[in-house]
Amino acid sequence: MNKGTALIIGVGDGLSASLARKLSDEGYDLILAAREPHKISELAAELSASSHSCDASIPAQVDRLFEAVTGPLRVMIYNPSARVRGPLTDLNPEDVHKAIDVTAFGAFLTGQQAARRMQDQEFVNGKRGTILFTGASAGVKGFPQSASFAMGKFAQRGLAQSMSRELHPKGIHVAWINIDGGIRNQSRSERTDPPENPDSMLDPDSIAETYLHLINQGRTAWSEEIAVRPWVERF
Amino acid sequence: MNKGTALIIGVGDGLSASLARKLSDEGYDLILAAREPHKISELAAELSASSHSCDASIPAQVDRLFEAVTGPLRVMIYNPSARVRGPLTDLNPEDVHKAIDVTAFGAFLTGQQAARRMQDQEFVNGKRGTILFTGASAGVKGFPQSASFAMGKFAQRGLAQSMSRELHPKGIHVAWINIDGGIRNQSRSERTDPPENPDSMLDPDSIAETYLHLINQGRTAWSEEIAVRPWVERF
Amino acid sequence: MNKGTALIIGVGDGLSASLARKLSDEGYDLILAAREPHKISELAAELSASSHSCDASIPAQVDRLFEAVTGPLRVMIYNPSARVRGPLTDLNPEDVHKAIDVTAFGAFLTGQQAARRMQDQEFVNGKRGTILFTGASAGVKGFPQSASFAMGKFAQRGLAQSMSRELHPKGIHVAWINIDGGIRNQSRSERTDPPENPDSMLDPDSIAETYLHLINQGRTAWSEEIAVRPWVERF
Amino acid sequence: MNKGTALIIGVGDGLSASLARKLSDEGYDLILAAREPHKISELAAELSASSHSCDASIPAQVDRLFEAVTGPLRVMIYNPSARVRGPLTDLNPEDVHKAIDVTAFGAFLTGQQAARRMQDQEFVNGKRGTILFTGASAGVKGFPQSASFAMGKFAQRGLAQSMSRELHPKGIHVAWINIDGGIRNQSRSERTDPPENPDSMLDPDSIAETYLHLINQGRTAWSEEIAVRPWVERF
Out of A168, A203, A225, the one facing B220 most closely (by C-beta) is A203
- Nearest of B3, B226, B7, B222 to residue B114 by alpha carbon: B7
Q: What is the mean pLDDT of residues B66-91?
A: 96
Q: How confident is the model at residue A187 (pLDDT cuts 50, 70, 90)?
A: low
Please report, as a single letter, which amino acid is at residue B231.
Answer: W
Q: How far is D140 from chain C, CA to nearest CA, in Å? A: 14
Residue C227 near residue C207 (C-beta atoms within 8 A):
no
Give 3-state DSSP helix, strand, coil % of chain D, rounded to 5.
Answer: 45, 20, 35
pLDDT for D210 beyond 90: yes
Chain-chain contact of A224 with B227 (C-beta, under 8 angstroms):
yes
pLDDT for C144 beyond 80: yes
pLDDT at A136: 97
Residue B98: closest CA among chain C residues belongs to which residue?
Answer: C105
Q: Which residues of chain D are within 8 Å of residue A153 when distances are taken between CB atoms? A: 158
Q: What is the mean pLDDT of residues A198-220?
A: 97
Out of A100, A138, A163, the one facing D105 most closely (by C-beta) is A100
Chain-chain contact of C210 with D223 (C-beta, under 8 angstroms):
yes
Measured CA to CA in angstroms, residue B137 lies from B234, B235, C224 at distances of 12, 9, 19
Q: How far apart are alpha carbons D126 and A19 in whole angstroms?
A: 52
| Mutation target vs C (from D22, D123, D131, D231; most C CBs, 10 A cutoff) | D231
Out of D88, D100, D111, the one facing A100 most closely (by C-beta) is D100
pLDDT at A71: 87
Residue B151 near residue B100 (C-beta atoms within 8 A):
yes
Q: How confident is the model at residue D125 (pLDDT cuts 50, 70, 90)?
A: very high
Length of chain A: 235
Residue A164: closest CA among chain B residues belongs to which residue?
Answer: B231
Residue B86: closest CA among chain C residues belongs to which residue?
Answer: C166
Q: What is the mean pLDDT of residues A4-22?
A: 92
pLDDT at C111: 98
Chain-chain contact of C160 with B147 (C-beta, under 8 angstroms):
no
Q: How many angstroms separate the first and last alpha carbons of chain A?
A: 41
Q: Which residues of chain C are within 8 Å of residue B160 when distances are taken between CB atoms? A: 142
Q: How confident is the model at residue A99 (pLDDT cuts 50, 70, 90)?
A: very high
Out of D168, D207, D231, the one facing C219 most closely (by C-beta) is D231
Q: What is the mean pLDDT of residues B42-71?
A: 96
Chain-chain contact of D88 with A147 (C-beta, under 8 angstroms):
no
pLDDT for C189 beyond 80: no
Q: For residue C113, report the phi and psi dihedrals to the nearest 5 degrees.
A: -65, -40
Segment (H or E) for B43: helix B41-47
pLDDT at D13: 66
Q: Is the pTM of the predicted complex or chain greater than 0.90?
A: yes
Name beta bridge partners: D5.
D29, D73
Q: Which residues of chain B are within 8 Å of residue C167 when distances are taken between CB atoms? A: 88
Q: Which residues of chain B are within 8 Å of residue A232 when distances are taken between CB atoms? A: 168-169
Q: How far apart are alpha carbons B98 and B106 in whole angstroms?
A: 10
Chain-chain contact of B151 with C155 (C-beta, under 8 angstroms):
yes
Residue B116 burial (CB count, 10 A): 14
> Which chains have 3+ CB pairs within 8 A of D?
A, C
Burial state string for A123-155 with b = 16 or more CB within 10 A and e = fewer than 16 = eeebbbbbbbbbbbbbbbbbbbebbbbbbbbbb
pLDDT at B181: 95
Chain-chain contact of C199 with D226 (C-beta, under 8 angstroms):
no
Q: How far apart are alpha carbons D73 and D4 in whole angstroms?
A: 6
Measured CA to CA in angstroms, residue C114 lies from A126, A138, B105, B177, C110 at distances of 50, 41, 26, 34, 6
- Alpha-carbon torsion (A227, A230, A232, A234), positive or negative: negative
Burial state string for A83-93 with b = 16 or more CB within 10 A and e = fewer than 16 = bbeeebbebeb
Chain-chain contact of A59 with D93 (C-beta, under 8 angstroms):
yes
Q: How far is D186 from chain A, CA to nearest CA, in Å? A: 32
Q: Where are the alpha helices (DSSP H) in chain D?
A: 14-26, 41-47, 59-67, 93-100, 106-118, 147-167, 204-216
Q: How confident is the model at residue A13 (pLDDT cuts 50, 70, 90)?
A: low
pLDDT at C186: 62
C147-186: pLDDT as tens digits: 999 999 999 999 999 999 999 999 999 999 999 999 998 6
Chain-chain contact of C155 with B59 (C-beta, under 8 angstroms):
no
pLDDT for D137 beyond 60: yes
Please report, as a single letter, which amino acid is at residue A23.
Answer: L
Its ipTM equals: 0.97
- Nearest of C3, C54, C5 to residue C33 by alpha carbon: C54
pLDDT at B186: 62
Residue A163 near residue A175 (C-beta atoms within 8 A):
no
Q: What is the mean pLDDT of residues B66-82?
A: 96
Q: How far is D85 from chain A, CA to nearest CA, in Å? A: 12
Q: How far is A1 from chain D, CA to nearest CA, in Å? A: 30
Chain-chain contact of C159 with B138 (C-beta, under 8 angstroms):
no
Out of C126, C230, C234, the one facing D220 most closely (by C-beta) is C230
Q: Which residues of chain A are within 8 Å of residue B216 when distances are taken between CB atoms? A: 209
Q: What is the mean pLDDT of residues B34-54?
A: 94
Q: What is the DSSP string of B125-176?
A: TTBSEEEEEEEEGGGTS--TT-HHHHHHHHHHHHHHHHHHHHHGGGTEEEEE
Q: What is the DSSP string of chain C?
A: ----EEEEES--SHHHHHHHHHHHHHTPEEEEEESSGGGTHHHHHHHT-EEEE--TTSHHHHHHHHHT--S-EEEEEE-------S-GGG--HHHHHHHHIIIIIHHHHHHHHHHHHHTTSPPBTTBSEEEEEEEEGGGTS--TT-HHHHHHHHHHHHHHHHHHHHHGGGTEEEEEEEE-SPBP-TTSSS--S-TTSTT-SB-HHHHHHHHHHHHH--TTSB-SEEEEB-TT---
pLDDT at D191: 64
Q: How many angstroms separate the first and last alpha carbons of chain D?
A: 41
pLDDT at C194: 86
Name beta bridge partners: C7.
C31, C76
Q: How confident is the model at residue C192 (pLDDT cuts 50, 70, 90)?
A: confident
Q: How far apart are alpha carbons C29 and C47 in whole angstroms?
A: 9
Q: How far apart are alpha carbons B178 and B149 in whole angstroms?
A: 13
Q: What is the mean pLDDT of residues A79-88?
A: 97
Chain-chain contact of D213 with C209 (C-beta, under 8 angstroms):
yes
Q: How confident is the model at residue D70 (pLDDT cuts 50, 70, 90)?
A: confident
Chain-chain contact of A226 with B226 (C-beta, under 8 angstroms):
yes
Residue D163: closest CA among chain A residues belongs to which residue?
Answer: A144
pLDDT for C188 beyond 80: no
Question: Following CA atoms A155, A159, A165, A171 in sequence, which dihedral angle do they give, to the nearest 10 degrees?
Answer: -150
Q: What is the mean pLDDT of residues B67-71?
A: 92
Q: How far is B212 from chain C, CA to nearest CA, in Å? A: 24
Q: How far is D204 from chain A, CA to nearest CA, in Å? A: 27
pLDDT at D71: 87
Burial class (CB in 10 A: 0-12, 13-18, 19+), C190: exposed
